[in-house]
């Protein structure tokens, strides 16, 4: 039963002490978040993995690409564990290495220069981070995408951005890149489905990936919130479609959303376009404000939700018994290049 499960988790944490660090993404359910030593956005959690080099095991309550990143950044002796191996990210799955390699070859041939810089969103496989490492590219997260794009434009004329079209488009637009210079490619088409003259002038080539949670937010929802609550402040995650970001008052990473809510004065109303577990937590933590999700139909990230306390208890029991369950291991030849792209991101930040 539930009580027994939670008692097991608490007992394992007490036994393991400093040998263990538990990281939790903001989208995790409260029953899991309560056990996390660090809770944060994907950038903060990548850094958190670095702040505990003494811990033997990093249990990552998040999704697969986050655990891979922790394994790449952690010391080789540290073991990274994903409580449920089925916790992936549908957006990360929308760009596979072969398709990116094929598109890259087409672009290299078309441009005949080495002025294209690959930029991968953190929400991608380690193989794609390694691709960026090998080709002079870089990783970004939603909290640093414009700084990273600026870095990329110092290296070359244009960027190939994957997998999230929305983060790429929203970031490029905020930097003043005209929409016509941000075509979306179709990796299934040999010519990438973009007219040659458009391709020639392109500054940001967008991959057609998206987040199934954030693509649900609409301008109509924002209009309705504004009609219902005059003076409402609206903040959305930049994985939302461009029209939604434009209609909102602000866009930012999960941590930026948390800070936005914290900074809102008592009595204010804030409508949020992001995953429901975070929105509900912010509502509970800010009882003096009215906080609600733009989407009236509950929208959890179904893969984040796969980290059930039962899986957490199971991997922690394993550690107590000296058994590493559900370990995430990135091959050394991939990790070494992926680390280059991640370190470029860290170095590009102010
Ligand atoms: P953050 O980097 O804002 O935490 O976002 C991660 C994510 O998966 C959002 O969908
Ligand atoms: Fe992936 Fe979207 Fe879930 Fe984030 S919210 S982990 S982008 S599916």
Cis peptide before 35 (omega within 30 of 0): no
Per-residue pLDDT, averaged over 166-181, amounts to 98
Quote the tokens at residue 3.
């009580």
| Cβ-contact 107, 205 below 8 angstroms | yes
Within 10 angstroms of residue 311's Cβ, the number of other Cβ atoms is 22
Cα–Cα distance list, 104 to 27, 92, 112, 192, 258 (Å)? 33, 18, 12, 10, 37
pLDDT reported for residue 296: 83
Please report how the helices 254-263 and 276-285 are oriented relative to each other, as an axis angle in degrees rounded to 10: 20
The architecture in CATH of the region 94-211 reads 3-Layer(aba) Sandwich (3.40)
- Give pLDDT tens digits for 278-291: 999 999 999 999 99
Q: Is 133 exposed, middle or buried (0-12, 13-18, 19+ CB in 10 A)?
A: buried
CB 61 within 8 A of CB 32: yes
Residue 1 pLDDT exceeds 90 = no
pLDDT in tens, 70-105: 999 999 999 999 999 999 999 999 999 999 999 999
* Torsional sign, CA 184, 344, 250, 94: positive
Report the chain's mean pLDDT, rounded to a whole number. 97
- CATH of range 214-293; options 3.30.565.10, 3.40.50.1370, 3.30.365.10, 3.40.50.10800: 3.40.50.10800
- At residue 248, φ and ψ (nearest 5 deg) are -80, 170
pLDDT at 275 over 80: yes
Q: Percent of the chain scored above 90 by pLDDT? A: 97
Q: What is the distance in A from the centroid of ligand 1 to the CA of 141? A: 8
Q: Report helix angle 145-155 to 332-348, nearest 10.
A: 100
Rounded to the nearest angstrom, the distance between the alpha carbon of 301 and the centre of ligand 2 is 6
Q: Which of 36, 251, 254, 256, when mutated, tests ligand 1's pocket best, judged by the most ligand atoms within 8 Å of its CB?
A: 254
Residue 271 near residue 237 (C-beta atoms within 8 A)? no
Ligand 2 near 120 CB (within 6 A) = no
Q: What is the pLDDT of residues 188-221, one digit of tens each?
A: 999 999 999 999 999 999 999 999 999 999 999 9
Global ipTM: 0.98
Residue to probe by mutation, ligand 2, list 301, 305, 306, 307, most atoms within 8 Å of CB: 301
Rounded Cα–Cα distance for residues 23 and 239 (Å): 22
Nearest residue CA, atom 3 of ligand 2?
A: 301
- Let me know the angle formed at the C-alpha of 203 by 202 and 207, rounded to the nearest 5 degrees: 80
Do the domains 2-90+304-330 and 214-293 sit in the same CATH topology, yes or no?
Answer: yes
Check pLDDT > 80 for residue 20.
Answer: yes
Q: How far apart are CA 225 and CA 243, in angstroms?
A: 16
Nearest CA to ligand 1 atom 2: 42
Answer whether residue 149 shows pLDDT above 90.
yes
pTM listed for this prediction: 0.97
Written out in words, the top-level CATH class of the domain with range 2-90+304-330 is alpha beta
pLDDT computed for residue 49 by the predictor: 85
Q: What are the domain boundaries of the chain?
A: 2-90+304-330, 94-211, 214-293
Per-residue pLDDT tens over the stretch 219-238: 999 999 999 999 999 999 99
């Amino acid at each position: 039963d539930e009580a027994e499960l939670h008692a097991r988790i608490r007992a394992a944490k007490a036994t393991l002490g400093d040998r263990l660090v538990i990281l939790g993404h903001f989208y995790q359910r409260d029953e899991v978040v309560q056990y996390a030593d660090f809770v944060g956005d994907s950038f903060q959690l990548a850094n958190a993995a670095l702040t505990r080099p003494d811990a033997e095991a990093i249990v990552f309550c998040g999704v697969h690409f986050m655990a891979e990143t922790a394994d790449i950044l952690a010391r080789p002796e540290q073991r990274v564990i994903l409580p449920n191996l089925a916790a992936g990210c549908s957006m990360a799955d929308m760009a596979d290495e072969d398709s990116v390699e094929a598109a890259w070859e087409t672009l290299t041939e078309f441009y005949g220069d080495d002025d294209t810089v690959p930029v991968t969103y953190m929400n991608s496989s380690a193989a794609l981070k390694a691709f960026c490492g090998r080709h002079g590219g870089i990783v970004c997260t939603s909290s640093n995408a414009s700084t990273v794009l600026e870095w990329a434009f110092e290296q070359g004329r244009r960027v190939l951005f994957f997998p999230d079209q929305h983060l790429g488009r929203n970031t490029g637009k905020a930097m003043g890149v005209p929409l016509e210079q941000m075509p979306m490619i179709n990796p299934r088409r040999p010519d990438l489905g973009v007219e040659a003259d458009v391709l020639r002038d392109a500054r940001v080539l967008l991959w057609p990936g998206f987040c199934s949670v954030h693509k649900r937010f609409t301008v109509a929802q924002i209009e309705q919130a504004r009609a219902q609550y005059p003076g409402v402040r609206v903040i959305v995650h930049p994985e939302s479609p461009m029209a939604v970001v434009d209609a909102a008052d602000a866009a930012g990473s999960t941590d930026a959303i948390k800070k936005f809510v914290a900074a809102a004065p008592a009595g204010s109303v804030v409508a949020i376009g992001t995953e429901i577990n975070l929105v509900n937590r912010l509502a509970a933590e800010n009882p003096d404000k009215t906080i609600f999700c733009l989407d009236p139909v509950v929208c959890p990230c179904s893969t984040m939700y796969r980290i059930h306390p039962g899986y957490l208890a199971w991997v922690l029991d394993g550690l107590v018994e000296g058994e590493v369950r559900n370990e995430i291991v990135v091959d050394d030849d991939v990790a070494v290049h992926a680390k280059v792209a991640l370190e470029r991101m860290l170095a590009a930040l102010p």
